[in-house]
Chain A
Amino acid sequence: MKKLYSNKWVIFSLVLPGILVFVFAILAPICLSVYYGFTDYSGMGEANFIGLENYKNLMHDSSFGRALLNSLLLAIGFICIQHPLAIVTAAVLDKLGGRAEGFFRCVYFIPNVISVAVIAYLWKFIYNPDFGLLNNILKAFGYEGKINWFSPQMAIWSVLIVLIWHGFGWGMLIYYTGIKNIDPVLYEAASIDGADWKTTFFRITLPLMKPVIQINVTMAIISALKQMETVYLLTGGGPGDTTQFAANYLYQQAFKAFKYGYGNAIGVVFILICILVTVGLNKIFQNKDID
């Protein structure tokens, strides 16, 4: 038996496909990025080695700073707006029961299965100053005049609204599952003791949901950092760099500004930031659990 389970060739053959995929699709591109990050390659012609020049430039690049700031804003938007709403909705939905509960759960999640391509263009139309839904709603409330939702001051908020709206169902569903996993005996005990819904929510639901909230918050922060597709289609990072995000910026630098080397340097820094943030968040939440 022991011999069978430590047969090197069998082990090798089982992990080989996974390792090949990892090396070819993740490790090799990262190595290539590191290499090009040290060059002034434009996408065509010669690649000259320029040392740390790209990284030095990146330190003073205000567009990249803006991109990170926008990720922070988005993460705050997720945590302070989307998640509280999602938890409350999940808690309310949990009390409903019956067919209606399943119906609402289904409806809330639908935007999540729709392609970002559709969502982005749909919202472009919703924000349209001439026939857009949003300006028509404002008109119904008596506001005359057209709001330009993609002006330099408004654009980032318009983008945040779309992202918070699109991801709502996902967050809600995970909180909802978390609430369903709470032992109903606890709620019965609370109601026998005469606790009202407020006390029940803050003393039972929230504390028991802590691990779920931690997972959801971690995922929200990371997805805020990795955001690209919606912004790419909705605003392209503009006007100016007001809605810039790191992934969109590196793509633009490489394929539109023809600074392929610089784009790769951004990519390397971006990967490092993502790893640091993921590891950091896991550390923070692990330590809290021990306390």
Chain B
Amino acid sequence: MSKKEKTKVDSTLLQRIKKGCLWIVLILVAVIQIFPLIWLVDFSLASSTEMFTNGLLIIPEKIQWGNYVTAFVDGHFLLYLKNSILINGLAVILVVLISIMAAYACRRMRWKLSGLVKTILLLGMMIPIHATLLPNYKIYNTIGLTDTLWALLIPYVAFSLPQGLFLMTGFIDSIPWELEEAAVMDGCGIYRIVFQIITPMLKPSIATVAIMTFLNNWNEFMMASTYLSSEKWKTLPFSVLEFTGQYSSNYAVQFAVMALTAAPAVIVYIILNKHITKGVAMGAVKG
């Protein structure tokens, strides 16, 4: 073997070792991030008596699908899922609509207070949500909004709006004026310009705002548990919250209800993973 060949072998070996190290780091991080969830699913399929083992995972003697049946029925899974989808869907629509309208008015229309109004609306970003829990509870209680859809919808929209507005103003600035000028020549009114010309051009940013709003609110439960008391509008996290009291000694069923309530978001995330990644990256870097 000549010297030249030897160094070549060495360098490919070195390359492989390097590549191997990269893989080890990545796999290690993946295990740390995902193993608790595997453990959760594993324990949810066992019976409570099997849990006191020394091993990390259990191989259940008989897979206990019954845990999931109990979780599904007693956790009001379908009702809470429906409520979550409805409330979050409405919040997304409202945030997108209101933020497009306000962004257009603040960036394109000519009026003295446009900058001030935009700044005031963006102030919401700095306000900690949880500081409004106490006064909002009082307000909703007084005007009879507790235990209604509005008690969740209003704060969800309010606290996602600043970010939505922020993103939308950025995107509207990048749309060329010429398009609108042509529309005005054709006799278009402002409303038609906003909803028929500008809105379709904002599609990617609408997706970003929708994803951020959904991620912000889907798993929210602090406001929900403060403003709601009956089952009617409770959202998905309540399946877990209520179960821990009700089945405090039946651990296996608690594991099942946690896996079940986590499932919809995880499945949707895995399917839409590329879009959500893009949305979060855009939203976070610009926001």
Q: Which of A84-109 contact B (CB under 8 A)?
A: 85, 88-89, 92-93, 95-96, 100, 102, 104-109
B22 at the interface (CB under 8 A from A): yes
Contacts A22-B158, A29-B139, A264-B135 known; A118 to B56 CB distance under 8 Å?
no
Chain B residue at minimum C-beta to C-beta distance from A275:
B126
Chain A residue at minimum C-beta to C-beta distance from B274:
A102
- The majority secondary structure among interface residues of chain A is helix
Selected contact of B281 from candidates A95, A121, A173, A250, CB within 8 Å = A173
Q: Bound complex: CA of A5 vs CA of B222, how far in Å? A: 42
Chain A residue at minimum C-beta to C-beta distance from B258:
A118
Q: Bound complex: CA of A176 vs CA of B26, how far in Å? A: 13
A89 touches B29 (CB 8 A): yes
B165 touches A174 (CB 8 A): no
A250 touches B134 (CB 8 A): yes
A78 at the interface (CB under 8 A from B): no
B161 touches A21 (CB 8 A): yes
B99 touches A18 (CB 8 A): yes
Most buried by B among A18, A104, A133: A18
Chain B residue at minimum C-beta to C-beta distance from A268:
B131
Give the distance to chain B from A109, nearest Cβ to Cβ, in Å: 7
Enumerate chain B residues within 8 angstroms of A267, measured Cβ to Cβ.
131-132, 134-135
Chain B residue at minimum C-beta to C-beta distance from A85:
B29
B101 at the interface (CB under 8 A from A): yes
A18 touches B98 (CB 8 A): yes
A247 at the interface (CB under 8 A from B): yes
Q: Bound complex: CA of A108 vs CA of B25, how far in Å? A: 13
A140 at the interface (CB under 8 A from B): yes
B254 touches A121 (CB 8 A): yes
B157 at the interface (CB under 8 A from A): yes
Selected contact of B55 from candidates A136, A178, A233, A268, CB within 8 Å = A136
Q: Bound complex: CA of A105 vs CA of B274, how far in Å? A: 10
B241 touches A15 (CB 8 A): no
B56 touches A133 (CB 8 A): yes
B265 touches A113 (CB 8 A): yes
A237 at the interface (CB under 8 A from B): no
A284 at the interface (CB under 8 A from B): no
B165 touches A18 (CB 8 A): yes
Q: Bound complex: CA of A271 vs CA of B132, how far in Å? A: 9
Give the distance to chain A from B126, nearest Cβ to Cβ, in Å: 5
B131 touches A169 (CB 8 A): no
Contacts A29-B135, A32-B135, A251-B133 known; A10 to B191 CB distance under 8 Å?
yes
Q: Bound complex: CA of A274 vs CA of B129, how far in Å? A: 11
Give the distance to chain A from B259, nearest Cβ to Cβ, in Å: 8
Enumerate chain B residues within 8 angstroms of A274, measured Cβ to Cβ.
126-128, 131
Residue-wise, chain A 196-216 has the 8 Å CB interface mask toward B (1 for contact) of: 000000000000000010010
B215 touches A113 (CB 8 A): yes
A5 touches B110 (CB 8 A): yes
Size of interface on A: residues with Cβ below 8 Å to B? 95
Q: Which of A50-109 contact B (CB under 8 A)?
A: 85, 88-89, 92-93, 95-96, 100, 102, 104-109
Enumerate chain B residues within 8 angstroms of A174, measured Cβ to Cβ.
280-281, 284-285
Enumerate chain A residues within 8 angstroms of B132, measured Cβ to Cβ.
25-26, 29-30, 33, 267
Contacts A92-B25, A110-B266 known; A115 to B128 CB distance under 8 Å?
no
B255 touches A118 (CB 8 A): no
Q: Which of A184-243 contact B (CB under 8 A)?
A: 212, 215, 219, 225-226, 228-229, 232-233
B13 at the interface (CB under 8 A from A): no
Chain B residue at minimum C-beta to C-beta distance from A104:
B26
29 A/B residue pairs, CB under 8 Å, sorted by A? A5-B190, A10-B191, A14-B194, A18-B121, A18-B165, A21-B158, A29-B139, A30-B132, A30-B135, A36-B138, A102-B274, A107-B34, A108-B29, A109-B280, A110-B33, A118-B237, A118-B240, A121-B244, A131-B251, A133-B56, A139-B54, A140-B54, A165-B33, A173-B277, A219-B284, A226-B130, A247-B130, A271-B127, A271-B131
Give residues in B with beta carbon < 8 Å to A: 22, 25-26, 29-30, 32-34, 36-37, 39-40, 43, 51-56, 97-99, 101-102, 104-106, 108-111, 117, 120-121, 123-136, 138-139, 154-155, 157-159, 161, 165, 181, 184, 189-191, 194, 215, 218-219, 221-222, 226, 236-237, 240-241, 244, 251, 254-255, 258, 261-262, 265-266, 268-270, 273-274, 276-277, 280-281, 284-285
Beyond A26-B127, A122-B37, A274-B131, list 13 extra A-B contacts (CB 8 Å): A10-B191, A18-B98, A22-B121, A36-B135, A85-B29, A95-B22, A104-B29, A109-B276, A113-B266, A125-B40, A136-B53, A137-B56, A275-B127
Q: Which 3 A-B pairs have the closest CB atoms?
A: A25-B158, A247-B130, A29-B135
